[in-house]
């Protein structure tokens, strides 16, 4: 079986809490991201960009998000407050994948978002190929405009996901996968 197909068949996410140092070094990360941005892009719009979070910036980001969450739910338990605060601190590197939607383009918005989603997925595939672990997460913060402002996003930009990267600290068992027979049909006129 070709190595690329084997990679697709074996790829799995590693929970962000199970990712630790090291993250990809600068040269490896650059190569990974150069590969990740090679996605189908109808109209050559490049409807995506990336934001890197490392070190203390991840905790500062989490603290700002926790403040928003607490303001929205003042009765939030202390455990949930701490979870919000620390959510981005486990993996050594978090990449925010951002969709940049051009509403004036003939390319439908869904295709632009899917293009950005492909970047996120390519990061997962590339990380796995390089023996790193990764997890693509969203959560409420991906859809909150106040969080978008914290990230410096323009009105036409949206978070597609937070991709947590690092070295797996556990062997992650594969999860049950759907049967292809339940998903594939043949159309006939």
Q: Kindly report, residue by residue over 6-25, the tens digit of the pLDDT.
A: 889 999 999 999 999 999 99
Q: How far apart are CA 120 and CA 104, in angstroms?
A: 24
What pLDDT, in 10s, does the model give residues 96-153? 999 999 999 999 999 999 999 999 999 999 999 999 999 999 999 999 999 999 999 9
φ, ψ of residue 51 to 5 degrees: the values are -125, 130
Indicate whether 189 belongs to any domain: no
- What is the three-class DSSP state of 18? helix
pLDDT at residue 16, rounded to an integer: 97
Two structure tokens written together for 118: 């492909």
In this prediction, residue 38 has a pLDDT band, given cuts at 50, 70 and 90, of very high
Indicate whether 166 belongs to any domain: yes
Indicate whether 186 belongs to any domain: no
In this prediction, residue 2 has a pLDDT band, given cuts at 50, 70 and 90, of confident
Indicate whether 18 belongs to any domain: yes
Indicate whether 19 belongs to any domain: yes
Closest C-alpha to 48, from 114, 104, 142, 93: 114
In this prediction, residue 1 has a pLDDT band, given cuts at 50, 70 and 90, of confident
Indicate whether 126 belongs to any domain: yes
Two structure tokens written together for 135: 């997890």
Two structure tokens written together for 166: 């690092």
Total count of domains within the chain: 1
Indicate whether 104 belongs to any domain: yes
Domain of 33, CATH number, reads 3.40.109.10
pTM value? 0.95
The vertex-104 CA angle with 100 and 106, nearest 5°, equals 95
- Contacts of residues 107-115 at CB distance under 8 Å and 24 or more positions apart, as own/partner, are 107/42, 107/43, 107/45, 107/47, 111/42, 112/45, 112/47, 113/47, 113/158, 113/160, 115/39, 115/40, 115/41, 115/42, 115/45, 115/47, 115/48
Indicate whether 9 belongs to any domain: no
Q: How far apart are CA 117 and CA 99, in angstroms?
A: 8
Question: Structural domain of residue 56, as residue ranges?
Answer: 14-172
């Amino acid at each position: 079986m070709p190595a690329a197909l084997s990679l697709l068949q074996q790829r799995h996410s590693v929970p962000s809490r199970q990712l630790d140092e090291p993250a990809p070094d600068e040269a490896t990360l650059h190569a990974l991201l150069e590969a990740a941005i090679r996605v189908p892009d109808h109209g050559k719009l490049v409807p995506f960009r990336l934001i890197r979070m490392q070190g203390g910036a991840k905790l500062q980001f989490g603290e700002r998000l926790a403040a928003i969450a607490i303001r929205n739910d003042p009765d939030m338990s202390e455990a949930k407050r701490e979870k919000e605060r620390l959510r981005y601190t486990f993996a050594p590197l978090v990449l925010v994948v951002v969709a940049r939607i051009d509403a004036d383009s003939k390319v439908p918005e869904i295709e632009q978002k899917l293009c950005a989603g492909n970047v996120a997925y390519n990061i997962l595939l590339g990380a796995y190929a390089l023996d790193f672990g990764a997890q693509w997460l969203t959560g409420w913060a991906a859809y909150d405009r106040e969080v978008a402002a914290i990230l410096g996003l323009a009105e036409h930009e949206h978070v597609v996901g937070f991709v947590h990267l690092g070295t797996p600290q556990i062997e992650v068992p594969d999860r049950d996968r759907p049967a292809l027979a339940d998903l594939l049909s043949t159309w006939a006129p």
